[in-house]
Amino acid sequence: MLYKKYTFGDTDIYYICGGDFGSGLMLFPAGTAIGDADALSPDGMVQAVLRGARNLADYTQGVTMRNYSSVLLDILSQTADEKGVVTLLSDGAGNEYEHTLRYDAETGVFAVRVEYFNRTGKEQVLESLQSFSVSGICDPEKEKPTDEGFRLVRMVSAWSRECRLKEEEFADLGLDMSWGRYGVKCERFGQAGSMPNRGYFPFAAIVGGGMTLAAMLEAPYSWQMEVYKEKETCALSGGLADREFGHWSKKIPAGGGFKTNYAYLTVRRGEDVDGACNAFVRFQDERLVVPESEESMPVLFNEYCTTWGVPSEENIRAILEGLKGLPIGIFVIDCGWYLPENCGWCNAIGDWNESKKLFPHGIEAVVAAIREAGMIPGVWFEFENVGCDSKKFKDASSLLKRDGVVLTSKNRRFLDLRKDKVQKYLKEKMLDFLAQKGFGYIKIDYNDTFGMGADGAESLGESGRQVTELSLDYIARLKEAVPGIVIENCSSGGSRIEPKRMGMVSMCSFSDAHECEEIPLVAANISRVVPARQNQVWATIRKEDTVDRIVWSMTAAMFGRVCISGDMHLIDSAQKAKVKEGIDFYNAVKDIVRFGSIAENFCNIRYYRDPKGCQIYKKVSKNGGRMLVLAHFFERPHERFECGVKGYKLAASYTTLDFEVKNGALVFRPAGEYQGGAFLLEKEEKQENARRGRAAFCRAPVNLGGKNGDDRL
């Protein structure tokens, strides 16, 4: 029965008690008429499994660990204010749970987590404890509650293919209702291991019935989400991967407890996945605490696509010379600075001895040169792993083991961060090195996963969780060792860009898409889940690049943080001027990039490696006064050639496209393939005042020409 209803902004929250599956939580757009709450079949808002519990529904073993007898909880007390609700629940035998729901009025996002307290007087073993569970999901305003036609939206991820939307109707997933209400249907997904953005990003949205319910998880290690359906409505839950899915269990001593990571929820009227993503991104952005140097979102240069793993004092000084005159704030020395004399750089990670051959005057001499050029010097580490050509690879006492055997994945092994000797080693090799050499930026990479876990705890999954927590602790240690340090989160590109780690760093490497055609596609996808000021996108410039290609690359990087690489020391003055023009345009639209909301993301491209079609991406400033359009036309047929901009006039552009603003639309006329551009528009009534108050920052919008229809990237 209904225990309590609250309204927070545009969302109605219902707490239900006394059900067959415990006390439930339901969320609907404010004002939705739900009728009889019990008719919506709510189930437990705390999804926990204690060892010895039984499943309460048929046919669930091996399918789901939801709705075991551990969820049969009564509400003991509840406190609420304008910031949220805290609920204390108990099974009456000493197993108690605190369910916290916090509301952010600015974004409409709810932060939810659960904490378990063992007050039974004896040890208990958790086999599952989810961060959130919402049930009763349906269209309640129909004659009978139903989720017919509802769709599950997820983000599929792989290397250089991060966060692509995937939408499936419930019926196609086998989630439609059975005639007799028997046989639970469950779509459980996630990943096991230390690269959480593999297979799927920890996000899901249920769309249908005139609303969107979306969830995003803090998920630094193995995680899962589930759409669960037994009756006419469904439930959505998620959190740390359980015993079945993630090999996890944890002993909780008498008097002890365990707290989940947060999950983020939002409910919106209308079918609006991008709107939900805008809310999540804004919620994350407003909570970031970054060094002061990051507030201006400086453009970066990373030499990886210049030297391909062989940076040296000689080539870095040449690059610095080539960068003169460009407003770049950070210079990153990527992998290979530790190159041994007897092997390559790729599998030599772990010993971390700077190469005297590459840096004959010491790497600190290059650091000084970078600072003299007006940039923050950065350096690359993959400190959690060791490569097969390093001495540390053979130090079994420092490495993770599974079933007593050192855990090896192709050419990498994994340091056991729980060991004191490993902590001491990393302090000397990384923390002290950064401080002594004068670096102000670190790029933390991570290029393989230890999967389901390791020895050293009561379960493989718990061991993996412990090691991952210490990995996160090292971010705090870095900040203590080098005050003001800028931290980049990289993991074969974007494999660890989940919200918890991203909330602790300055930015991420969006992907290992370094210079391929699909960079704008991947960058746009990631912009749905990572704040733009953290979303570092490659713009690799080559000496053979045409003006079309330079504009294409620079525009692609404007989805987030521009990171230039490539042949900047080899290009001619005209090419360099075009790069600078792109930086100047970007600097003038950073307010939209950072604070704006996605208003449209049209993309008709199916196959990224053979991209036919176009992508037109529109972002509107926080106050609605300015609009940024990023357009990329790939191979023909393009099919679409305009973008709605009614009420706005063109203020500036950076493009090689022929175009015009006509009848409330920005109309494009690509002369060939692989052309793109960035366009700034302003509200018509504000444009004149804005022009008076701001100097011109780019050329007048005309067709630059110089290409034919057969030119490619």
pLDDT digits (tens, 9 = 90+) for 361-373: 999 999 999 999 9
**Helix/strand/coil percent split, the chain, to 5:** 25, 35, 40
Flag whether 204 is in a domain: yes
- Of 236, 266, 286, which one is at a domain's C-terminal end? 286
- What are the pLDDT digits (tens) for 548-591? 999 999 999 999 999 999 999 999 999 999 999 999 999 999 99
Mark whether 155 and 258 lie in a shared domain: yes
- Judge whether residue 694 has pLDDT over 70: no
- Judge whether residue 400 has pLDDT over 50: yes
Mark whether 319 and 223 lie in a shared domain: no
State the Cα–Cα distance between residues 430 and 488, nearest whole angstrom. Answer: 15
What's the confidence (pLDDT) of residue 370?
Answer: 98
Mark whether 83 and 188 lie in a shared domain: yes
Pairing of strands 648-655, 561-566: unpaired
State the Cα–Cα distance between residues 62 and 227, nearest whole angstrom. Answer: 15
What stretch of H or E contains 18? strand 11-19
- Of 447, 482, 509, which one is at a domain's C-terminal end? 509
Flag whether 668 is in a domain: no
Flag whether 684 is in a domain: no
Domain holding 318, by residue range, is: 298-509
Number of domains present in the structure of the chain: 2
Flag whether 561 is in a domain: no
- Judge whether residue 6 has pLDDT over 90: yes
Flag whether 712 is in a domain: no
State the Cα–Cα distance between residues 152 and 568, nearest whole angstrom. Answer: 45
Q: What are phi and psi of 189, to 5 degrees?
A: -145, 165
HSE value, Cβ hemisphere, 13 Å, CA-based, for 300: 35
Strand partners, 402: 405
**% of the chain exceeding 70 in pLDDT:** 96
- What are the pLDDT digits (tens) for 243-269? 999 999 999 999 999 999 999 999 999
Mark whether 74 and 191 lie in a shared domain: yes
State the Cα–Cα distance between residues 232 and 19, nearest whole angstrom. Answer: 16
Q: What is the CA radius of gyration of the chain?
A: 27
Flag whether 636 is in a domain: no
State the Cα–Cα distance between residues 327 and 304, nearest whole angstrom. Answer: 19
User: 376: closest CA among 476, 475, 487, 289?
Assistant: 487
* Mean pLDDT (whole number) for 656-661: 96
CA dihedral 584, 635, 530, 446 (to 10 degrees): -100
Mark whether 236 and 302 lie in a shared domain: no
Mark whether 258 and 386 lie in a shared domain: no
A 10 A CB-CB count for 342 gives: 7
- Cβ-based neighbours of 222, under 8 Å, separated by 6 or more: 190, 191, 192, 193, 196, 240, 241, 245, 246, 247, 248, 452, 453, 461, 464, 465
Burial environment of residue 354 by CB neighbours within 10 A (0 to 12, 13 to 18, 19 or more): middle
- Judge whether residue 420 has pLDDT over 60: yes
- Judge whether residue 156 has pLDDT over 80: yes
- Of 481, 509, 537, which one is at a domain's C-terminal end? 509
Mark whether 312 and 438 lie in a shared domain: yes
State the Cα–Cα distance between residues 187 and 204, nearest whole angstrom. Answer: 11
Mark whether 270 and 310 lie in a shared domain: no
Strand partners, 395: none
CATH code: domain of residue 352? 3.20.20.70
* Mean pLDDT (whole number) for 661-667: 96
What's the confidence (pLDDT) of residue 500?
Answer: 98
Distance linking the first and last C-alpha atoms of the chain: 62
State the Cα–Cα distance between residues 358 and 333, nearest whole angstrom. Answer: 12
- Judge whether residue 691 has pLDDT over 60: no
CATH code: domain of residue 217? 2.70.98.60
Mark whether 317 and 220 lie in a shared domain: no
Q: Which of 8-22, 169-183, 245-259 has the lowest mean pLDDT?
A: 169-183
State the Cα–Cα distance between residues 604 and 621, nearest whole angstrom. Answer: 25
Flag whether 591 is in a domain: no
* Contact in structure between 28 and 8 (CB atoms under 8 Å): no
Alpha helices in 194-329 (DSSP H): 243-246, 273-286, 304-307, 313-322
* Contact in structure between 130 and 222 (CB atoms under 8 Å): no
Average pLDDT, the chain: 94
From residue 286, give the alpha-carbon distance in Å to each of 95, 275, 484, 625.
36, 17, 19, 21
- Cβ-based neighbours of 654, under 8 Å, separated by 6 or more: 551, 554, 555, 581, 582, 585, 677, 678, 679, 698
Q: What are phi and psi of 421, to 5 degrees?
A: -65, -35
Mark whether 69 and 165 lie in a shared domain: yes
Rounded to 10°, the helix 313-322/363-372 angle is 10
pTM confidence score: 0.94
- Judge whether residue 201 has pLDDT over 70: yes
Note the residue count of the chain.
713
Mark whether 248 and 386 lie in a shared domain: no
From residue 562, give the alpha-carbon distance in Å to each of 142, 329, 565, 570, 586.
48, 11, 10, 20, 8
State the Cα–Cα distance between residues 15 and 7, nearest whole angstrom. Answer: 12
* Local confidence band at 1 (pLDDT 50, 70, 90 cut-offs): confident
What stretch of H or E contains 344? none
Mark whether 449 and 321 lie in a shared domain: yes
Flag whether 670 is in a domain: no
